Amino acid sequence: MLEGIAIGLSTALTPGNLLFVMMGCLVGTFVGMLPGLGPMSAIALMIPIAASLDPSAGIILMAAVYYGAIFGGSTSSILINAPGVASTVATSFDGYPLAKQGKAGKALAIAAYSSFSGGVIAALFLLVAAPFLANVSLAFQSTDYFALMVLGLVAVAAFAGKGDMAKALLMTVVGLMLSTVGTDQTQGVPRFTLGMIDLVDGISFLLLVMATFALSEALMAILKPKDDADRLKEKDASQNLGSMAVSMAEAKDMAPVIGRSSILGFLIGVLPGAGATIASFLAYGTEQRLAGKEKGAKFGKGSVRGLSAPETANNAAATGSFVPLLTLGIPGSGTTAIMLGALIGYGIQPGPRLYIDQPAVFWSVIVSMWIGNIVLLILNLPLIPYIARLLAIPSRFLLPLILFFSLIGVYFVSFNTFDIQLMVIFAVAAVVLRFLDFPMAPMILGFILGGMMEENLRRALLINDDSWSFLWERPLTLSILLIAAVCLVLPFATTYIGRLKNRVFGDSPSAD
Amino acid sequence: MLYSKDRIGGVLLLLFCIAYGLLSRNIKLLPFQMDVAFNARTMPEVLTVLGIGLSLAVIVFPGSAARPELGGYRWGQCALFLGLMSVYGLTIRPLGFIVSTSLFLMIGFALLGERRPHILLLVAVPLVVVFWVLMTQGLDVFIEPLPAFLKNGGS
């Protein structure tokens, strides 16, 4: 492990890579701060640049953008009560009330210290867990990978909100369908190309991500622009931050919260599909319960604990989500799904072999997480008063620029104008589906995992003489598939039991 | 409830899944490819069944009864931007990067309310030129800057 850390340090600490960490954190903070644009859009916008770098530098850049975007999301949550991403919604519960009390600077500092601690502690866990899991997963076969991918896809849908599971599963299937466009890899047969030569190689994942996230976000903002009161609020909040000092008593109050939320966040992040949003809400709820009556009552009114818990947990979960990506090659979240796509673009197959075949990439990602968190704390925090002013850039300039960067990002990779037209088509579909409250992240995950899933299933069938019996004869495969089945059935079962309870005890005052 | 967001989305995706299923029948397989347990059509066929089943589930058991509200949205402006992006895709080669992108940005800014011509020019053109220099000089990504008729001095 020490050798690995040394490899990671020597790779991540080169002047060029350090520059990419700093640049990534800054750009990520800026993009994440813009309401509506989250880490997925931020990373998607960075892919064209990352593609021109070597794999280590590219992944370091994207990881830095990831943290930066989460940090930036917290900033807009605190300052203007407009979370850039779902994972920072819980941050606004206590961050915004603090800002309203004239303590925006303090709230930002608490968020930064908590994020830093959560990220650093989780990176320590990752350091231990990733090589261990990678060694264990060396025993995995194609059949197990297929089962794991099924689990990953089902888990994402299972963690969707109440009543949204069918929609999330449907979007996953749509993603899987899109992944089948192009030439079939094994039999060399064109599928769904509609006779167009431009579709023979399939749909580029970058194109799909840019169209469904960055482009559709900007188009949604064009569809429903903010009113003048909101704009005034943003301008005002970005100019009056107050002191950034955190008192000793507040630090003491935060310390145990950070410890607990880091562990919770990391564990939730490791689970495929759960991610930073669930981690932040769980940490918030847990701390509220643990805080006792007096301190618990302050939650939602500007509690230091209430701000620290979700901030720590969402950063720890972001780090945790790298565990399945780096060790199994299965993304734990939409964001890591994009990173998986980028790694595949480099010709690197994440999974247990990554640890052995590409130690520089594996370890530099882990080490860069520490560096990224340090950069966020010592560079971004003091710069926040200036970065926050970017919130005041008029949307009439910002939105066309986002559209331009999205389009040109894809065009610069393929130099094919057909891609721009295809992006417009996907953007229209994405805007319509978002307007109808259909989630996009499961679709991206389905798209990324689709090709790999089909390939692993085919390989498994080839090894097993075209027999499907491996699904129930190999204990590991069967166990993973059973877990997937439980993930699938459990939300429906709990909803059904809940309804049944309501029907039986519905009108009774002593029901609970 | 009948025209809820979930149901409309479900119907749209049901149509998509049916179209996908119909197109999957056009996947041409050679006789020996048909005999294997998993051929190029297997996954699309399974996905069609899953997609149709899930679409129907969303339509029959919608998670929410929220109805789409079309009022208060700038649909026309959004459509104009979609058109603008499409035209940008068509003009980036014949007009070159700098001209087409500057025009794209200036029209975009103007569509969102910026009417001062000097501001449109001063924001768009320098930004596009700096971006082009950064890409070509910094990242070695070359893109033709000028219109086709000006290439090689117009020869």
Residue A472: per-residue pLDDT: 87
What is the DSSP code string of B85-102? HHHHHHHHHHH-HHHHHH
Give the whole-angstrom CA distance, residue A459 versus residue A145. Answer: 11
Give the pLDDT confidence score for residue A511 in this predicted structure: 36
Q: Any idea of the CA torsion for A114, A278, A447, A491, to the nearest 10 degrees?
A: 170
pLDDT at B19: 96
Half-sphere exposure of B128 (CA within 13 A, CB side): 25
Residue B130, chain A, CB below 8 Å: the answer is: no
pLDDT tens digit string along A177-188? 999 999 987 788
A143-154 burial string, b = 16+ CB within 10 Å, else e? bbbbbbbbbbbb
Is position A465 within any domain? yes
Identify whether the C-beta of residue A285 lies closer than 8 Å to the C-beta of residue A312.
no
User: Is residue A13 situated within a structural domain?
Assistant: yes
Q: Which segments in chain B show pLDDT lower than 50?
A: 154-155
Structural contact between residues A138 and A352, judged by C-beta atoms closer than 8 angstroms: yes
Which residues pair with residue A183 across a beta bridge?
Answer: A190
Residue A509 in domain: no
Domain residue limits at A242? 2-502
Domain-embedded: residue B69: no
Residue B83 lies in a domain: yes
Same domain, B56 and B79: no
Total of domains in chain B:
2
Average pLDDT of chain B, as a whole number: 87
**CA dist B113 to A220, A401, B109, B119, Å?**
17, 14, 7, 12
Decide if A340 is inside a domain: yes
Chain A interface disruption, residue of B41, B104, B112, B128, most A CBs within 10 A? B112
Give pLDDT, residue A406.
82
Instruction: Confirm whether B25 is domain-assigned.
Output: yes
B60, B87, B102 — which closes off a domain? B60
A233 CB contacts (<8 Å, ≥6 apart)?
A80
Q: Does B132 touch chain A (CB under 8 A)?
A: no
Instruction: Please name the residues between 60 and 99 in chain B that touch chain A, using a CB distance below 8 Å.
Output: 61-64, 66, 68, 72-75, 77-78, 81-82, 85-86, 88-90, 92-93
Alpha helices in A86-103 (DSSP H): 89-100
A512 belongs to a structural domain: no
Q: Do B54 and A169 touch (CB under 8 A)?
A: yes
Q: Is A293 exposed, middle or buried (0-12, 13-18, 19+ CB in 10 A)?
A: exposed
Specify the 3-state DSSP secondary structure of A182: strand
At A388, the amino acid letter reads A
Q: Where are the beta strands (DSSP E) in A213-262?
A: none
Residue with tokens 């069967």: A478
Tell me the one-letter amino acid at B142.
F
User: Which chain A residues are Cβ-neighbours of B44 within 8 angstroms?
Assistant: 177, 180, 191-192
Q: Which of A162, A176, A420 sits opposite B89 (nearest CB)?
A: A420
Chain A nearest-CA distance from B148, in A, is 15
Place of tokens 């069609």: B48
Verify that B18 and B47 share a domain, yes or no. Answer: yes
Q: Which of B15, B37, B60 is the last residue of a domain?
A: B60
Answer yes or no: are the C-beta atoms of A329 and A146 closer than 8 Å: no
* Residues of B with Cβ-Cβ distance to A49 under 8 angstroms: 139
Residue B149 in any domain: the answer is yes
Run of H or E residues at A112: helix A104-137
The model carries a pTM of 0.76
End-to-end CA gap in chain A = 51
* Contact assessment for residue A126 and residue A366, using Cβ atoms and an 8 Å cutoff: yes
SS3 A183: strand
- Where among B16, B33, B60 does a domain terminate? B60
Decide if A84 contacts A32 (C-beta within 8 A).
yes
**CA–CA separation, B31 vs B33, rounded Å?**
5
Nearest to A170 among B13, B38, B123 (CB): B13
A477 in a structural domain:
yes
Low-confidence ranges of chain A (pLDDT < 50): 508-512
Q: Convert the pLDDT of each residue in B61-105 to its tens digit.
A: 887 788 888 888 889 999 999 999 999 999 998 999 999 999 999
The H or E element that residue A296 is part of is helix A292-296
Q: Based on the structure, what is the number of domains in chain A?
A: 1
- The domain containing residue B9 runs over which residues? 5-60
Separation of first and last alpha carbons in chain B: 65
Indicate if B50 and B89 belong to the same structural domain: no
CA angle at residue A30 from A29 to A32, to 5 degrees? 65
User: Of B50, B58, B113, which is closest to A167 when you measure between CB atoms?
Assistant: B58
Count CB-CB contacts under 10 A for residue A33.
28
Residue A507 domain-assigned (yes or no): no
Among B40, B64, B127, whose Cβ lies nearest the Cβ of A191?
Answer: B40
Nearest 10 degrees: CA dihedral of A322, A326, A329, A331? Answer: 10
Q: Which two tokens stand for residue A251?
A: 């630090």
Same domain, B112 and B136: yes
| pLDDT score for A37 | 67
In this structure, is residue B148 part of a structural domain? yes
CA distance A278 to A293: 24
- Please name which of A99, A104, A68, A105 lies closest in space to residue A85, comparing C-alpha atoms: A68
Tokens at A235, concatenated: 């301008």
Does residue B51 share a domain with residue B85? no
- How many CB atoms are located within 10 Å of the residue A353 CB? 15
Q: B interface mutation test: which of A185, A396, A413, A456 has the most B CBs within 10 A?
A: A396
Instruction: Read off the pLDDT of residues A459-498 as tens digits, 9 standing for 90 and up.
Output: 888 888 888 888 888 888 899 899 889 888 887 777 777 7
Q: In this structure, how many other beta carbons lie within 10 angstroms of the beta carbon of residue B33? A: 17
Domain presence at residue A508: no
